[in-house]
Amino acid sequence: MPIFAAAIIGGLHFANTVPKILNAEIIAMAKLTSRDQDYSKWYNELVVDADLAQHSDVKGCMVIKPYGFAIWERMKEVLDAKFKETGHVNAYFPLLIPKSYLSREAAHVEGFAKECAVVTHYRLKNDPDGAGVVVDPDAKLEEELIIRPTSETIIWKTYKNWIQSYRDLPLLVNQWANVVRWEMRTRLFLRTTEFLWQEGHTAHATKDEAVAEAEQMLRVYAEFAEGTLAMPVIQGVKTASERFAGALNTYCIEALMQDGKALQAGTSHFLGQNFARAFDVTFATKDGGKEHVWATSWGVSTRLMGALIMTHSDDLGLVLPPELAPIQAVIVPIHKGGEGEAVVMERCNALCDELRAAGIRVKLDDDDTRRSGWKFAQYELQGVPVRLAIGPRDAAGGTVELARRDTREKSLVPFEGIAAHITALLSEIQSQLLSASRQRLTDNITEVDTWDEFTAALDRGGFVSAHWDGTDETEEWIKQKTKATIRCIPFDGPGTPSPVAPGACVKTGAPSERRVLFARAY
Torsion of CA 298, 301, 305, 306, to 10 degrees: -90
Binding mask 248-287 for RNA (x = CB under 7 A): ----------------x--x--------------------
Separation between Cα atoms, residue 38 and residue 29, nearest integer Å? 17
Question: Binding to RNA by residue 392, rule CB under 7 A?
Answer: yes
Stretch that binds RNA, among 55-63, 84-92, 226-234, 446-454 (CB under 7 A): 55-63
Separation between Cα atoms, residue 168 and residue 205, nearest integer Å? 9
Which is closer to RNA, CB of 378 or CB of 444?
A: 378
Mapped onto helix, strand or coil, the DSSP state of residue 268 is: strand
Separation between Cα atoms, residue 263 and residue 256, nearest integer Å? 6
Instruction: Tell me which of 73, 115, 443, 452 binds RNA, using CB under 7 A.
Output: 115
C-alpha to C-alpha distances, 296 to 162, 211, 514, nearest whole angstrom: 16, 8, 27
Separation between Cα atoms, residue 190 and residue 415, nearest integer Å? 42
The distance of closest approach from Cβ of residue 464 to RNA in the complex, given in angstroms and rounded to an integer, is 17
Which is closer to RNA, CB of 38 or CB of 208?
A: 38
Among positions 352-391, residues that touch RNA (CB under 7 A) are 368, 371-374, 376-378, 380-381, 389-391
Mapped onto helix, strand or coil, the DSSP state of residue 324 is: coil
Among positions 13-52, residues that touch RNA (CB under 7 A) are 25-26, 29-31, 40, 44
Question: Binding to RNA by residue 421, rule CB under 7 A?
Answer: no
Which is closer to RNA, CB of 25 or CB of 280?
A: 25
Which is closer to RNA, CB of 193 or CB of 311?
A: 193
Stretch that binds RNA, among 108-116, 134-142, 222-230, 274-282 (CB under 7 A): 108-116
> Which one-letter amino acid corresponds to residue 398?
G
Largest CA distance in the chain: 84
Stretch that binds RNA, among 65-73, 359-367, 394-402, 457-465 (CB under 7 A): 394-402
Which is closer to RNA, CB of 397 or CB of 470?
A: 397
Burial of 31 (0-12, 13-18, 19+ CB in 10 A): exposed
The distance of closest approach from Cβ of residue 392 to RNA in the complex, given in angstroms and rounded to an integer, is 5
Instruction: Tell me which of 11, 337, 493, 494 binds RNA, using CB under 7 A.
Output: 337
Which is closer to RNA, CB of 171 or CB of 316?
A: 316
The distance of closest approach from Cβ of residue 115 to RNA in the complex, given in angstroms and rounded to an integer, is 7
Strand (E) or helix (H) holding 430? helix 418-443
Which is closer to RNA, CB of 58 or CB of 495?
A: 58
Among positions 207-246, residues that touch RNA (CB under 7 A) are 244-245
Which is closer to RNA, CB of 63 or CB of 89?
A: 63
Separation between Cα atoms, residue 152 and residue 463, nearest integer Å? 32
User: How long a stretch of residues is the chain?
Assistant: 522
Which is closer to RNA, CB of 3 or CB of 500?
A: 3
Instruction: Tell me how many degrees the CA angle 240-242-246 measures, rounded to the nearest 5.
Output: 70
Question: Binding to RNA by residue 181, rule CB under 7 A?
Answer: yes
The distance of closest approach from Cβ of residue 195 to RNA in the complex, given in angstroms and rounded to an integer, is 4
Separation between Cα atoms, residue 13 and residue 347, nearest integer Å? 18
Residue 365 neighbours by CB under 8 Å, 6+ apart = 330, 331, 332, 333, 375, 379
The distance of closest approach from Cβ of residue 358 to RNA in the complex, given in angstroms and rounded to an integer, is 21
The distance of closest approach from Cβ of residue 39 to RNA in the complex, given in angstroms and rounded to an integer, is 9
Residue 421 neighbours by CB under 8 Å, 6+ apart = 413
Is residue 412 within 8 A of residue 6, CB to CB? The reply is yes
Which is closer to RNA, CB of 210 or CB of 388?
A: 388
Separation between Cα atoms, residue 343 and residue 337, nearest integer Å? 10
Name the nearest CA neighbour of 178 among 301, 68, 296, 81: 301
Write phi, then psi, for 401 (nearest 5 degrees): -85, 125
Instruction: Tell me which of 153, 158, 174, 192 binds RNA, using CB under 7 A.
Output: 192
Binding mask 124-163 for RNA (x = CB under 7 A): ----------------------------------------
Separation between Cα atoms, residue 199 and residue 62, nearest integer Å? 20
Instruction: Tell me how many degrees the CA angle 179-183-188 measures, rounded to the nearest 5.
Output: 75
Is residue 123 within 8 A of residue 141, CB to CB? The reply is no
Stretch that binds RNA, among 89-97, 187-195, 415-423, 496-504 (CB under 7 A): 187-195
Separation between Cα atoms, residue 46 and residue 61, nearest integer Å? 17
Separation between Cα atoms, residue 341 and residue 344, nearest integer Å? 5
Binding mask 470-509 for RNA (x = CB under 7 A): -------------x--------------------------
Name the nearest CA neighbour of 122 among 132, 105, 103, 136: 136
Question: Binding to RNA by residue 114, rule CB under 7 A?
Answer: yes
Stretch that binds RNA, among 74-82, 270-278, 392-400, 466-474 (CB under 7 A): 392-400
Q: Which residues lie near RNA (CB under 7 A)?
A: 2-4, 25-26, 29-31, 40, 44, 55, 57-60, 111, 114-115, 181, 183-188, 190-193, 195, 244-245, 264, 267, 301-303, 316, 334-337, 368, 371-374, 376-378, 380-381, 389-395, 401, 403, 408, 410, 483, 521-522
